Structure 1
């Protein structure tokens, strides 16, 4: 994807749906046992040492595995699973904007793990840019290969929350993306160019219980 210039927030969203989605760079978890209940403890007072020892010790929390980002040394480890906020599950202006932010968090998870399931669950199978994203990720995790960097940082999301003639809602997303790096057992294979300033139109529909992305259009400066 070629670099694009972020549009000013004052730009209003288009009422009509763009015909073709321009591909992005990314398109672009013990407790002790209870004491013996046999007769050996009979006659002992509650305060006796034997009675005290039979109490169940307090479980010690198991520390969660530490997150390790991908690098030239290897793929990412223990990547936190992004969770869709409750606000993003509402058919409203705020709900759509929260959903758009989550969509890019889900995309970042795919870049780090090779798992695009989160994005597929919230995107239409006809979303061309989404299909491009799946292809980019799948190519980065073949035969022990992995991707590094590639992260998208969302700066702002805005929606006028106006229904288009095609029955879609639009959200304008401003973000930047790091240069994608492809690694394999032999080392660095490919490095792309960063996109420091991108404005992208995310179009979504409300399916009765959740939002689904149907198109992503990169707006050229």
Structure 2
């Protein structure tokens, strides 16, 4: 059965930094759910393969050192964050491909939290994806001047799809997610926003369209 949206439109007023966290995970229609399977039946663990970096056959015997990744702390922003690589499976128009793509999309959201860079998400999301647009704006606000986002990683516990097109030609992916503690920080110990880790899970729905040879996210919202 195709699930229809039950959410009302997002208010136009600014919701502060971390809009995606506040709307996509912490807020939404019905908030967190202790039993997302009641809404998203037949969810299965997400086990898509990740693309491994290939070794350059022409590299010299003494390659240049790779910058070390450092996660964000209360004292400063993350450093040298690696950009997630889309797995080949996520390029397929199939149920497995949609699940892999959904995981990849959220990995780019997490990359945005750590870097302030929304461009990777923007490249694979529709221009009228309302919550995506809020994410871009609030991510920019979260990294204004010397501010940064600490934490907020979104973990996908499970995902499933019946892989049936909606009347709009989209496929729906139902997910169970959990977000880690998150804070918007600034220099000299400033804290503009803070939310402790929520041990409950949230059921979400993603709608995506397969265009030519790739997926595009049209909608993401809480169920």
Same fold (TM over 0.5): yes
Are the equivalent residues in 2 in contact too, given 1:67–1:80 (CA < 8 A)? yes
1:188 aligns with 2:217: no
Asked whether 1:201 is paired with 2:205, we answer yes
Q: Contact 2:110/2:153 (CA < 8 Å) preserved in 1? A: yes
Q: Distance between the aligned counterparts of 2:170 and 2:151, measured in 1?
A: 32
Conserved 8 A contact 2:40-2:203: no
What's the TM-score, normalizing by structure 1? 0.75
1:8 to 8, 13, 37: 37
1:212 equivalenced with 2:216 (yes/no): yes
- Helix, strand or coil for the counterpart of 1:8? helix
Query: Which position in structure 2 is the counterpart of 1:101?
Result: 103
- Are 1:12 and 1:160, in contact at CA under 8 Å, matched by a contact in 2? no
Contact persistence 2:158–2:176 (CA under 8 A)? yes
4+ runs deviating over 4 angstroms: none
Check conservation: 1:72, 1:188, Cα contact below 8 A.
no
Matched position secondary structure for 2:122: helix
Q: What does 1:31-110 align with in structure 2 at a 5 Å threshold?
A: 59-110=61-112
CA gap 1:59/1:118 in 2 versus in 1, 3 angstroms = same
Measure the CA separation in 2 of the matches of 1:215 and 1:12: 20
CA drift at 1:9:
7.0
Distance 1:73 1:208, change over 3 A: same
Q: Which has the larger radius of gyration?
A: 1
Give the drift of 1:132: 1.6
Alpha-carbon deviation of 1:113? 0.1
Secondary structure in 1 matching 2:158: strand
Runs (5+) with no aligned partner, structure 1:
14-57
Number of the residue aligned with 2:140: 138
Instruction: Kindly report which structure 2 residues correspond to 1:119-198, keeping only aligned pairs within 5 A, or say none.
Output: 119-189=121-191, 190-196=193-199, 197-198=201-202
Give secondary structure in 2 for the equivalent of 1:214.
strand
